[in-house]
Structure 1
Amino acid sequence: MHKVCLHDLVTRKTFLAELSTIPAVSETIQIDTSQRFYLIHGITKNISDQMNASHDFDIYVERINKEYWVNSLLDKTRNC
């Protein structure tokens, strides 16, 4: 598991999470079982002081709703 710090670009809030894989930019993730979806805008690997760091990666996200997420998937399938 990777310890990550998620930075919400809109609200400027941060929160820690554990992810089994690191998502790529432009992918979406869902945190816990709630309907909170996030669009990934950027990722930074924390290599400065990994022995004392509370997380391995900083992930910059924008919260999106489920409708936005579903529509983005439909757009991708139409472009294939």
Structure 2
Amino acid sequence: MGGFPLENGPSAMALPGSQQTQVSAVKTTAPESKPKKKICCACPDTKKLRDECIVQHGEDACKKWIEAHLTCLRAEGFNV
């Protein structure tokens, strides 16, 4: 059988199974912790409203839009 010792057979058989378990565990947690988009492309609607308000009225007058945009970004998975 090609000179492979029988001792390595069971451990080699167990290795791929354990790797699959680890990979599937990583895949299930990854979508929750990593955003699917870049931050510049996330929440375009709230970003536009926030930016227009700041340009026209200044940052102090736009707290509502700034917070709405931050809430949207957090919902998309960003830590802001």
> Which of the five TM-score ranges fits, normalised by the shorter chain?
under 0.3
Which structure: greater helix fraction?
2
TM-score normalized with structure 2 length:
0.25
- Normalized per residue, which structure has more strand? 1
Larger-gyration structure (1/2)? 2
